[in-house]
Amino acid sequence: MARIRSIHPALFTDEAFASLSMAARVLLIGLWTEADDQGVFDWKPITLKMRLMPVDNVDVPALLLELESAEVIRRFEQDAKWFGAIRNFCKFQRPKTPKYRQLKSSDIRNFVASTYPASEEIEAEPASFPQNVEMPPQMEEGGGKGGEEEEEESIRPVAKAPASSSRFDEFWKEYPKREGDNPRKPAEKKFNALVKTGVDPETIIAGARQASAAARARGDYGTRFVPQAIKWLNDQRFHDYAVSSFDEQAPAPIDWEPIVRTWTKTGYWSHQAGPDPESPACRCPRDIIEKLSAEARQ
């Protein structure tokens, strides 16, 4: 089922993203809407072409290969079906009611930065057109009153906020001191509203900590050049200190068995695993290759 997804403005200056062709960039963003809430999509190039790029004269299998070579997606097999996984997907998307497939490979769970329980499965079945998608509060019937009141209305219905008063105390302690007024009450209200929308309070607190360190380095700490906390939160300045790239996650240990099994069945070797078994530079342990190749011949 297609989903509404979030796009961080820093994506467009990310080096890995900018290195892709324009068509591959469009396809990647489209894959976010096709993936389940754990960042996994059906590896069906023809279907993806019809859903995401129906009027463009492009070679979707070649674009998928480009994305895979850039290590922003990964192809894998599970339960005799082929799927694709999107790197670090769970770091950037925070759905209210997640639906996702159970991932049996720890390697793929690490690749998508999954935080969902491995033993729980909430299957997301593909939907035929037209598809029902999540409607943001500002688009719901009767929504919108204009101005600041409209902004508050768009925040209020989303999700119940976890108890965050203690987390706000942590934020207030980390936020840099300033000369002049710095009202606490509106800042606390805004902090709680951000948490309601799904912003991780740890992200805000870490941003405040880094903002404080930056102010000290500039010599601005304790001066009027430090913005009021409410303005800093309204502008979501914590994102300035929390921009992550595709390359942020350290490579996970390779689970060789599914890669070799796929190779013995289809002849396809994962690009992320390095040279294939026919190359002397292959990094896969030889005993695993021999064992699984012998099993495939039986």
Eight-state DSSP code of residue 161: P
Structure confidence at residue 161 (pLDDT): 43
**For all residues of the chain together, what is the average pLDDT?**
78
Eight-state DSSP code of residue 122: B
Structure confidence at residue 1 (pLDDT): 58
Strands across the sheet containing 40-42:
40-42, 81-86, 73-78
Q: What's at 155, amino acid-wise?
A: I
Q: Which tokens in the block code for residue 285? A: 């342990």
Q: Which domains does the chain have, with CATH numbers?
A: 9-111 (1.10.10), 158-241 (no CATH), 259-297 (no CATH)
Question: Which spans in 2-146 are helix H?
Answer: 15-18, 22-34, 45-52, 60-69, 89-92, 106-111
**pLDDT tens digit sequence for 140-161:** 444 444 444 444 444 444 444 4
Q: Measure the CA–CA gap between 259 and 272, rounded to whole angstroms.
A: 10
Backbone angles phi, psi at 77, to 5 degrees: -110, 135
More confident residue, 144 or 297: 297
As a whole-number percent, the residues of the chain with pLDDT over 90 amount to: 26
Backbone angles phi, psi at 246, to 5 degrees: -60, -25
Q: Measure the CA–CA gap between 19 and 75, rounded to whole angstroms.
A: 20
Chain Cα centroid distance, residue 231: 27
**pLDDT tens digit sequence for 245-269:** 444 444 556 778 888 888 888 887 7
Q: Measure the CA–CA gap between 160 and 156, rounded to whole angstroms.
A: 9
More confident residue, 196 or 273: 196
Sign of the C-alpha dihedral, residues 44, 46, 49, 51? negative
Q: Which tokens in the block code for residue 221? A: 């700490």
Q: Measure the CA–CA gap between 90 and 109, rounded to whole angstroms.
A: 10
As a whole-number percent, the residues of the chain with pLDDT over 70 amount to: 78
271 has a pLDDT exceeding 70: no
* First-last CA distance in the chain: 40
Eight-state DSSP code of residue 240: G
Q: Measure the CA–CA gap between 50 and 34, rounded to whole angstroms.
A: 12
Chain Cα centroid distance, residue 274: 25
Average pLDDT over residues 217-228: 89
If you write DSSP's letter for every residue of 89-106 in order, what string do you get? HHHH---SS--BPPP--H
Give the pairing of strands 40-42 and 81-86: antiparallel
Res. 63 pLDDT band, cuts 50 70 90: very high
232 has a pLDDT exceeding 90: yes
Structure confidence at residue 133 (pLDDT): 46
Structure confidence at residue 148 (pLDDT): 47
Given a contact cutoff of 8 angstroms between Cβ atoms, the answer to whether 260 and 285 are in contact is no
Please tell me whether residue 234 adopts helix, strand or coil conformation: helix
Q: What's at 97, amino acid-wise?
A: T
CB atoms within 10 A of CB 35: 25
